[in-house]
Amino acid sequence: MVVKTTVSVALAAIALFAPLASSHIIMSLPQPYNFKTDPFVQKDPLDGDSFKFPCQGRGHTVDSDITTVVAGGAPMPVTFTGTAAHGGGSCQFSVSYDDPQAAGGWNASSKFKTIYTLIGGCPASSAGNLKDSGTGALDNADGPHCGNDSGKECIREFLIPFPKFLKNGPAVFSWTWHNRVGNHEIYQNCAPIIITGGTEDESEIEALPEIFLGNLPAVQTDVPGYKPCHLGQGQTVNYPNPGKYGRVLEPPTDPEAIPSDYCSDVPPASVIPKFVGDDSAAGAFPTMTPVSNMTNPTPIGSVFLTLPTDGGIPAGDYGPHPTTKGT
Ligand SMILES: *[C@@H]1O[C@H](CO)[C@@H](O)[C@H](O)[C@H]1NC(C)=O
Ligand SMILES: *[C@@H]1O[C@H](CO)[C@@H](O)[C@H](O)[C@H]1NC(C)=O
Ligand SMILES: CC(=O)N[C@H]1CO[C@H](CO)[C@@H](O)[C@@H]1O
């Protein structure tokens, strides 16, 4: 068994169920910080203010957070829930060793080292949003699930290989996503993990590229080295530093129109990255073990999502932005 989870004692919480008309995609496994606990993981993109980089400001605040144990050199299943797939896009999976609790909160200097990059098809290959076909773990509207990493118009799941050289111990696993359609946004969910079977050495991790932060609003000024910039409409971003490991699930695309604050370090779509061991073209990929076979996080406490009555939808946005209660 590659992945198992440790669950500390759950606490009862008051359930305030409210159906969500549409809900943004959120990583559900490994289970993010504050998935079901105050101050609640946020489904909206990073806004640089209330929901800052990194991790929407969410970190270890409650012992009932589920920590996922992952083995260096082994793949970890990553799953999502929600309906607002925004036509998919590109995403990066990364690891940080910077203590989320350092200095009493998230450290804006945290380094998120890219272990895997997906160009296109993340977390869906879809024209726009997905149809509401069920209820997710947060009592959210949930789209159909592909059950693999290649279905269309459904939420995909991925097996992300963890490099053998990762340092053992507690770490933070992050999923950052740049949606293809709609507002030009960056999403990030972070989950506590414990890495085993790796090394005691940080040198190879240090050599990995940091994640791409384009679309992070300029209002957040405390991220060292980040020069605010945006991607364009309809763009499947071709990440500037995708790292060695990843796959091209859909060809990158250039923006329909170049925004004035375009992220100029993004390579043109014609330059297709080459990843070590990417056999996407051959259609080959390790057989997925159904996620239901992994030791799934046991639901803890209760669910407490509500929608603001006004929907909290910025003008010109693509789909409603549900907001979690208690944020
Ligand atoms: C914040 O992260 C940076 C980058 O890794 C690190 O150098 C620094 O020590 C961290 N700060 C704290 C208070 O842990
Ligand atoms: C992946 O899932 C989709 C939708 O569930 C299905 O149609 C397709 O056949 C699956 N592909 C593989 C390779 O299993
Ligand atoms: C090891 C294990 O539990 N395998 C099960 C995985 O799930 C399939 C169907 O979902 C079962 O048939 C297996 O027994």
As a residue count, the chain comes to 327
pLDDT tens digits for 88-144? 999 999 999 986 655 467 788 899 999 999 999 999 999 999 999 999 888 889 999
pLDDT category of residue 273 using cuts at 50, 70 and 90? very high
Region for 210 from its dihedrals, namely left if φ exceeds 0, alpha if ψ lies in -120 to 50, beta otherwise? beta
Mean pLDDT of the chain: 77
Residue range 210-238: average pLDDT? 97
Q: Where are the domains of the chain?
A: 1-327
Q: What is the second-level CATH architecture of the domain 1-327? A: Distorted Sandwich (2.70)
pLDDT at 120: 96
Residue of minimum CA distance from atom 2 in ligand 2: 151
C-alpha 106 – ligand 1 centre gap (Å): 10
Q: If DSSP codes are grouped into helix, strand and coil, which group holds residue 57?
A: helix
**Angular region, 317: left φ>0, alpha ψ -120 to 50, beta rest:** beta
189 falls in which pLDDT band (50, 70, 90)? very high
**Of all protein residues, whose CA lies closest to atom 5 belonging to ligand 2?**
146
Which residue minimizes the CA distance to atom 7 of ligand 2? 151
Q: What is the rounded CA–CA span in Å between residue 255 and residue 259?
A: 8
Does the beta carbon of 99 lie inside 6 Å of ligand 1? yes
The atom number, within ligand 2, closest to the CA of 149 reads 1
Q: Identify the pLDDT of residue 238.
A: 98
* Residues 60, 235: Cα–Cα separation, whole Å: 34
Q: Which of 23-27, 223-227, 244-248 tops mean pLDDT?
A: 223-227
The conformation of residue 250, written as its DSSP 8-state character, comes to S
Task: Give mean pLDDT, residues 248-271.
Answer: 96
Question: Does ligand 1 have an atom closer than 6 angstroms to the CB of 207?
Answer: no
Higher pLDDT, 288 or 48: 48
d(CA 251, CA 256): 15
> What is the percent of the chain with per-residue pLDDT over 90, rounded to a whole number?
44
Measured CA to CA, the distance from residue 201 to residue 15 in angstroms comes to 44
Amino acid identity, residue 61?
T
298 pLDDT exceeds 50? no
Tokens of 12: 């009862």
For residue range 53-72, what is the model confidence (pLDDT) as tens digits? 999 888 766 655 677 888 77
CA-nearest residue for atom 12, ligand 1, is 102
Q: What is the pLDDT of residue 139?
A: 84
Q: Which residue has the higher pLDDT, 16 or 52?
A: 52
Average pLDDT over residues 263-277: 91
Q: Which two tokens stand for residue 190?
A: 């972070």
pLDDT tier at 263 (50, 70, 90 boundaries)?
A: very high
- Which residues in the chain belong to E strands, given as ranges? 4-6, 26-29, 67-71, 75-81, 89-96, 113-119, 134-135, 141-142, 158-161, 169-179, 186-196, 246-248
- The pLDDT score that the predictor gives to residue 254 is 97
Check if 292 has its Cβ closer than 6 Å to any atom of ligand 3: yes
Residue range 265-291: mean pLDDT, rounded: 65
Q: What is the rounded distance in angstroms from the CA atom of residue 269 to the CA atom of residue 279?
A: 19
Region 214-221: mean pLDDT is 97
Assigned token pair, 82 = 């929600």
Output the pLDDT for position 184.
Answer: 94
Q: CA 237 to CA 232: how far, in whole Å?
A: 9
Q: What does the alpha-carbon distance between residue 19 and residue 305 come to, in Å, rounded to a whole number?
A: 9
**pTM score of the predicted model:** 0.80
Residue 95 pLDDT: 95
Q: Tokens 């970890």 map to which residue? A: 76
Pocket flag, ligand 3, residue 1 (CB < 6 Å): no
